[in-house]
Structure 1
Amino acid sequence: MTHEPEQPVAPAAEAPPARPLPPWFDDAKLGIFIHWTAAAIPAFAPVHLVQGLQDRGPNVPRWQQRQFWRTLPYAETYQNTMAVPGSETSRYHAEHYGDLPYSAFVEQFRDQTLPAWEPESWARLFARAGARYVVLTTKTEDGFLLWPSDHPNPHQEGWQAGRDVVGELADAVRCHGLRFGAYYAEGLDWTFGGLPVTDDESFVRAMPTSDAYHAYTDAHWRELITRYQPSVLWNDYCLLPNLDAEALFRTYYQQVPDGVVNDRFDIPRQHDGQLHADFDTREYSNDTKPAARKWEACRGIGTSFGYNQLETEDSYLSSTQLIHLLIDTVAGGGNLLLNVGPTGSGDIPPEQAQRLVDLGDWLATHGDAIYGTRPWHRAKGITTEGLPVRYTASREVLHALVLGTPRGTTIDLDVRLQPGATVQLGACPHPLPWQSSPHGTRVQLPAPPAPEAALSLHISPREAVTDPVD
């Protein structure tokens, strides 16, 4: 995933014409990200959150840059981190595998893991989780392709799947009513050189810039579009100018009119508004504030995108924390692209799978306050007993999501209701009694609520709700 040093400045250009965001993407709210590579076989990385290392900017000292790459918690970058001097990953590899090259993991992944993989079990789980779209890593930094491409790697023979993992997963999730998207790491490919990346300078130097490489990646994008018609194109690492992006977008939108592209095809130009992007990406970010453009938060359930054998219950977000993360994200106008990291045998770790089930169970009751909503003019509130409240809005309804379980049978919301307004709890169709209070509005529940991560109150009509202004 992208680590951004100081970005090169692109030449000034006219802003592209605005393209309306396809409504399906704004309605979906929850997607599943899948990082699955040969690195899932050794499955090793330090366990900590990357935010602690992301004090990024133009003046970060070299020693701190090297610390970032030496201790990067992303297990999917094992091929690089095993080559970084002094890293725990390099020590682990030497102790357990000696001088075995990364290509040996690729061969095992291609010849043993992929033939035994079962896409249907993944698709069922993602549907059960309440996701509306799935994004698969078709190529990551190691350059291995998860589909049998007509454009094979020019430097590594057999560096692609014989089995069409991309096509089979696309078919499986679509059979469950989910959309399919393709991640492709265009900005880095270690089969073209650049190992090891140890600091900002070597990171930029590792980005392939040859015409041959641009033709290679452009052919892959067009192949993915033509074969699989992905609803999402999710690029990564493109800090350098990408002069093919406009033509690629035209082709994509012609073939997939309601498709969306992220903001990592040419990061400087897309962030400056000189190149189109349908949505911004926020990686392992705590920022849930609304933005001028649609945004998507992406992160793993734990501290890594790829599977890391060292992760435990303590390093994974709990089911309650995931539900709160989804609510915070949606209230701020974003989507949550929640990552799973399958193991080297193709299984989704049970700790991750259970959290997806718990998330889906909660959405089965409270999904009306999530799917298809838009931000209200105020995302956050609080009850009189100190429970956080998040607000989302449908066309006719304001939703108040209370994070946690109230102690009694009343909830004081920090909103005012006009006479005639109706308040309902969760999926229950019966209206609840309410009255004005010094805090705003006191809602009477039929009984003390059972403990759960969050409950939802639905207030209609939406126009009957205002801030509690004196």
Structure 2
Amino acid sequence: MIIGAGSEFTMRFILYISVILLLGGCNPLTKEQRELIASLKERELPAWYDDAKLGIFIHWGPYTVPAFAPTENHVHDTFLNHYENSSVHVPYAEWYWNALQNGEGATYDYHIDNFGEEYPYQQFGYDFQQAVSQWDPDAWAEQFAAAGAKYVVLTTKHHDGFLLWPSAHQNPNDHQWYSERDLVGELAAAVRARGMKFGIYYSGGFDWMWNQEGFGRNITELIAGTPTDAGYGNYVEAHFRELVERYEPSVLWNDISYPGGGNLWPLVSDYYEMVPDGVINDRFSDMNPIALMLRNPSLRALADKVIKYILKLNGGDMTAFMAVGLQPHYDFKTREYVDISSIDHQKWEATRGLGLSFAYNQNETEENLLSDKELIEGFIDTVSKNGNMLVNIAVKANGDIPDSQTQRLDALGEWLASNGEGIYGTRPWERAQGETAEGEAVRFTKRDNVLYAIIFDVTRRDELRLLDISESNISSISLLSYGLTEWRQERGDLIVALPNEFDFNGPLTVAIELE
């Protein structure tokens, strides 16, 4: 289901009102906090992020050792049609520990069959430590740069709480629950050496090592298990400050929520001071009041009813219940495995794996993965609507990238090598999409005085007719990777010649230069 701006607003409004009714109000911001947030909101989005368009996401941790999740359903289908046990059946391999702890389902059966009942999830942390000794960060960086990526975001801590850097702040429930090898620092150096920006993902909401009672079968049970103690807020803040001071990431990509006691807005202010071109996403909202409320069984049952109703409205997008976009300031908003139908004038980022899972899932087949065509066209569609795409590459525990992933990256990189002019540094035009007279889909971008029309599935012929392009100030038209071509306007349409010697592969980009 594609969510338009109107239905998204409706869904978030219902969610917000429902939460307010259930909570009876949340802790108000102080005058000092309001003033600080107001100053942060005056800051403009750094141009590099708007220009970049393509980022690479990496989910890497102990969960890549078993590397398993069920593949019967898309994530939204899982939450929409199997709500009661959705978190057990979700196709995300990075949620392995949660599915295992619930003692049922495909993941649990897989674990018993392959590792045995006495093999705890924590053992995967030690297995992962051994596996990463083989990793070559430069090989990753080369692959990502060749794909045309301009930034890379690494999971420094996912929901299992395992740290990918040797932190001075260790989990009190397992002082060895971190990587002795500085995976974060090594990748940051390799990425930057090739001209890309480096960012960090951090799960501020869920931490199943910190709260080992925090597992759940569905959304409300998981949120109820969010750590809400002051110690966890201090722990998260210490991690963010350490990551910022040590690695100066250009992106802070938090997930689920940020603990209420974590002094968020002074942290963000200090981050901007240290990294002037840094950006933050929209998943830093304080969910502690909601977590505390959902620990009441009666209120949780009521919330389940509200959530199931909203899932029917939004096609199963469960990120709506992670307080996404409810914080008073952020640089870009996130959409997870979601497309939109029109331009969003607020900067946003589409994120998804090449398959059903973010983390490597050996259970996935070619049928579960985007085709080259779907990846390229989905990326173009996102850019035309003011989005970046943060596409996740599923890597194995030892750092190997499966051929099925590199093949798709290579295809995207090859297309961008010839057509990147119509992507990087562009902004949305007055509309995102159109079509040719033959019904081929068209997406538009614009940079300075050049309008780009990117046409999907172009068939070989002498000319193509772009409907409803009646600009009166066209000075020239060229085909990217070919050069100037003949053109004419007729009855409000633009007709562009396709030379016989022009060999196009994939979406065709027409550059329309305006006077």
**TM-score after normalising by structure 2:** 0.83
- SS class of match (1:233): strand
Q: Per-residue deviation at 1:51?
A: 2.2
Query: 2:51 aligned to 2, 7, 27, which one?
Result: 27
Alignment partner, residue 254 of structure 1: 273
Q: Per-residue deviation at 1:114?
A: 1.7
Q: Distance in 2 between matches of 1:393 and 1:49?
A: 34
1:427 maps to 2:427: no
Q: Distance in 1 between matches of 2:491 and 2:70?
A: 50
1:203 maps to 2:222: yes
Residues 318 and 448 (structure 1), Cα distance of their counterparts in 2 relative to 1, 3 Å cut:
farther
Q: Is the 8 A contact 1:366 1:427 kept in 2?
A: yes
- SS class of match (1:180): strand
**Match of 1:325, as an amino acid?**
G
Q: Per-residue deviation at 1:449?
A: 5.0
Unaligned runs of 5+ in 1: 56-62, 465-470
**Match of 1:126, as an amino acid?**
F
Q: Per-residue deviation at 1:359?
A: 0.4
Q: Is the 8 A contact 1:406 1:449 kept in 2?
A: no
Q: Distance in 2 between matches of 1:242 and 1:28?
A: 34
**Match of 1:130, as an amino acid?**
G
Query: 1:149 aligned to 149, 163, 167, which one?
Result: 167
Q: Is the 8 A contact 2:199 2:251 kept in 1?
A: yes
Structure 1 residues 15-24 or 220-229, which shifts more? 15-24
Query: 1:175 aligned to 187, 190, 193, which one?
Result: 193
Alignment partner, residue 465 of structure 2: 412
**Match of 1:44, as an amino acid?**
F
Q: How does 1:362-441 map to 2 (within 5 A)?
A: 362-414=415-467, 415-418=469-472, 421-429=475-483, 431-438=484-491, 440-441=493-494
**Match of 1:43, as an amino acid?**
A
Q: Per-residue deviation at 1:439?
A: 6.0
Unaligned runs of 5+ in 2: 1-11, 21-25, 288-322
Alignment partner, residue 328 of structure 1: 381
Structure 1 residues 322-331 or 194-203, which shifts more? 194-203
Q: Distance in 2 between matches of 1:44 and 1:385?
A: 44
**Match of 2:224, as an amino acid?**
R
Structure 1 residues 342-351 or 212-221, which shifts more? 342-351
Q: Is the 8 A contact 1:409 1:448 kept in 2?
A: no
Deviation per residue, 1:138-194 (Å, 9 max, x gap): 000111100011111111131111111000000000001000000000101001223
Alignment partner, residue 146 of structure 2: 128
Q: Is the 8 A contact 2:166 2:179 kept in 1?
A: yes
Q: Is the 8 A contact 2:204 2:259 kept in 1?
A: no
Deviation per residue, 1:311-357 (Å, 9 max, x gap): 11111101111110110000000000000111122101110011101
Query: 1:231 aligned to 231, 250, 269, which one?
Result: 250
Count of residue correspondences = 449
**Match of 2:203, as an amino acid?**
A
Q: Per-residue deviation at 1:240?
A: 6.3
Deviation per residue, 1:285-306 (Å, 9 max, x gap): 0225322421000000000000
**Match of 1:115, as an amino acid?**
S
Query: 2:66 aligned to 36, 42, 46, which one?
Result: 42
Residues 6 and 89 (structure 1), Cα distance of their counterparts in 2 relative to 1, 3 Å cut:
farther
Q: Per-residue deviation at 1:117?
A: 1.1
Deviation per residue, 1:14-73 (Å, 9 max, x gap): 563332000000000000000011111111111132122344xxxxxxx94323112100
Structure 1 residues 405-414 or 333-342, which shifts more? 405-414
Q: Distance in 2 between matches of 1:361 and 1:24?
A: 22
Q: Distance in 2 between matches of 1:437 and 1:96?
A: 66
Q: Distance in 2 between matches of 1:386 and 1:267?
A: 47
1:294 maps to 2:347: yes
**TM-score after normalising by structure 1:** 0.91
Percent same amino acid at aligned positions?
Answer: 42
Q: Is the 8 A contact 2:88 2:105 kept in 1?
A: yes
Q: How does 1:264-275 map to 2 (within 5 A)?
A: 264-266=283-285, 271-272=325-326, 275=328
Q: Is the 8 A contact 1:124 1:176 kept in 2?
A: yes
**Match of 1:252, as an amino acid?**
Y
Q: Is the 8 A contact 1:333 1:375 kept in 2?
A: yes
